[in-house]
């Protein structure tokens, strides 16, 4: 019996059309007869197309993804997905790693790679937290620079010239909320004076 190849493709945003197209091309080239695809962040609570793919696969099938990070967000997530697949008698193939869980080596490599990826992410987050704490202690950390506030005088000048908030937003490339916030702060400051 020949295994049926089922593909799963995901990009983090709808802007990543080229990334999704590349995944679809690679999955088709790998022989996938059905492909589930979605465009949302891996941290999204529900990945409906992944759930549909996991429900769709049957014993003897192979779930194919282009990269490990397209499938799972953490080692725990990876283990839960691979356990579902194992329970259904479905193998996993990751194209970029030439990894196939139908072999003992493939199973070992999957567990190792998932653990290493999670370890690297945790180290990165820890270094980031330490860097922010150090910068705060030294008085150097101020957070993200407010981009709209630096344009407050221009917002007020455009408003004084009779421009609408929508026109100001378009001219300066800032959000509508920022325009109204600056105008409101100016009104409050004017009342206090």
DSSP 3-state of 79: helix
DSSP 114-147: HHHHHHHHHHHHHHHHHHHHHHHHTT----S--T
The pairing of beta strand 62-65 with beta strand 91-94:
parallel
- 42 has catalytic annotation: no
- Cβ atoms of residues 41 and 12 within 8 Å: yes
Question: Which one is catalytic: 12, 42, 115, 175?
Answer: 12
**Cα–Cα–Cα angle for 81, 65, 23, nearest 5°?**
145
Residue 49 and residue 8 in contact, taking contact as beta carbons nearer than 8 Å: yes
- Burial annotation 21-32 (CB, 10 A radius, 16+ → b, else e): eebbebbeeeeb
* Contact between 50 and 82 (Cβ < 8 Å): no
Could you tell me if 38 and 101 are in contact, meaning their C-beta atoms sit under 8 angstroms apart? no
Residues forming a β-bridge with 88:
none
Residues with a catalytic annotation lie at 12
């Amino acid at each position: 019996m020949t295994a049926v190849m089922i593909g799963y493709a995901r990009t983090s945003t709808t802007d990543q059309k080229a990334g999704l197209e590349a995944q679809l091309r690679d999955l088709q080239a790998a022989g996938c007869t059905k492909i589930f695809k979605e465009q949302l962040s891996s941290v999204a609570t529900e990945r409906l197309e992944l759930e549909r793919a996991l429900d769709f696969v049957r014993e003897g099938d192979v779930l194919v993804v282009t990269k490990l990070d397209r499938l799972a967000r953490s080692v725990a997530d990876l283990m839960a997905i691979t356990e579902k697949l194992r329970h259904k008698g479905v193998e996993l193939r990751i194209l970029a790693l030439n990894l196939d869980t139908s072999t003992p080596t493939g199973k070992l490599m999957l567990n190792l790679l998932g653990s290493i990826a999670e370890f690297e992410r945790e180290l990165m987050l820890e270094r980031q937290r330490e860097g922010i704490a150090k910068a705060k202690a030294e008085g150097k950390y101020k957070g993200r620079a407010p981009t709209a506030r630096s344009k407050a005088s221009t917002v007020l000048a455009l408003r004084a010239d009779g421009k609408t908030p929508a026109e100001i937003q378009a001219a300066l490339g800032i959000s509508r909320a920022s325009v109204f916030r600056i105008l409101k702060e100016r009104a409050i400051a004017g009342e206090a004076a």
